[in-house]
Structure formats: structure tokens, C-alpha cells
Amino acid sequence: MLVASHFGASQNQKNIPEGYFKNPLDIELKLSGTFGELRSNHFHSGLDIKTNQRTGLKVYATASGYVSRIKIERYGYGKAIYITHPNGYTSVYAHLDKLSPRIEEYLKQRQYENETYEIQLFPSDLELRVDQGEVVAYSGNSGGSGGPHLHFEIRDSAARPINYDDGY
């Protein structure tokens, strides 16, 4: 289990099979931010997982699917990827240092084509398929991050972050 009892019950959890999503990191998972936490200008919509003040930790796909969105911005989530899963849910990984080599290559090619660092891409379901446990990125400190960590979310089919604590 990713984090026991950091989430309350949620209607959105009902259709996720127990054990469907796996841990996105292979270290002991400790939180620096929890779901629904009140921030200065918003509610926190995911988990901030500590990376022991390090960048470059392997970030794994929590379930099989495809990279459906890549968003690169100087602020906010910084370097982020979204993986859509066959069950309709999407996992989000943010404040990344870099992406896996094939995803990074896909990104760089489009950044050069568009002559811009900040970009938002929506690959098709056939372009960047990933398997559960595959390295998809490396943890970082990009965007509006207060120190190295992995921001992680699970969103439902309507793109709403959900409060999920079962099955990791």
C-alpha cells in the first residue's frame, strides 16, 4: 500500500480493483504533502512523495497504459507526464527531472519542431505505450517545487483527482 490511512473514503474508489496501481518509486514511501491539504491558494490534489532530498530516482508506471499528456512549464508542475490506463483512470507524475529516453526523445523532437521549451503534448494511445513497472521518468525539482520530491495523483475518467488509498 502506498500510504495507509492518509486518504478518506471516496465514491470514486469503488471501481478500482485492489492492487491495480503499484508504487511509483522503489524506496520507502514517506509523504511531505497529502491529498486535500490546504495550500496558500488551493487544495493539494495529490501526494507529495519524499525522495530523500535527491533528484534522479526512477519513477515507475503504476499500471500499464499510454502516455496521454506531456506538459512542460517553468512553474506549476514543471516537467509532468500523464498516463491513461485501460480502466479509465490516469496517473500523474510531476516535478520531474527528466523523462525516460524514448519519452524524452519524443518530447525533444516536438520542442525543436515548435521552437519552444514550454509545451503541452497529447500523444495518441498508440505512440507511447508503457507497461506497469516500466521506468517512465526520473524524480526532480522542476516547476513550482519547494525541493526534490515526486508529486503523484490518480484521476478519474472526468480528470478529477481522487482520494485513493487501496491497492498499492
Task: List pLDDT tens digits, range 61-116.
Answer: 999 999 999 999 999 889 999 999 998 999 999 999 999 999 999 999 999 999 99
Task: List pLDDT tens digits, range 111-137.
Answer: 999 999 999 999 999 999 999 999 999
Residue 48 makes CB contacts below 8 A (sequence gap 6+) with: 31, 32, 33, 34, 149, 150, 151, 152
Task: List pLDDT tens digits, range 44-54.
Answer: 467 778 888 89
Each domain of the chain, given as residue ranges in start order, spans 11-155
**96 within 8 A of 60, measured Cβ to Cβ:** no
- What predicted TM-score, i.e. pTM, was given to this entire model? 0.82
Q: Which of 49, 47, 53 is nearest to 26 (CA)?
A: 49
**148 within 8 A of 139, measured Cβ to Cβ:** yes
| CA dist., res. 150 & res. 153, Å (int) | 10
Please tell me the predicted confidence (pLDDT) of residue 43.
56
Report residue 10 CA to chain centroid gap: 20
Residue by residue, DSSP assigns 58-121 as EEE-SSSEEEEEEEE-SSTT-EEEEEE-TTS-EEEEESEEEE-HHHHHHHHHHHHHHT-SSEEE
CATH superfamily of 11-155: Glucose Permease (Domain IIA) (2.70.70.10)
Is pLDDT of 3 > 60?
A: no
Residue 52 makes CB contacts below 8 A (sequence gap 6+) with: 27
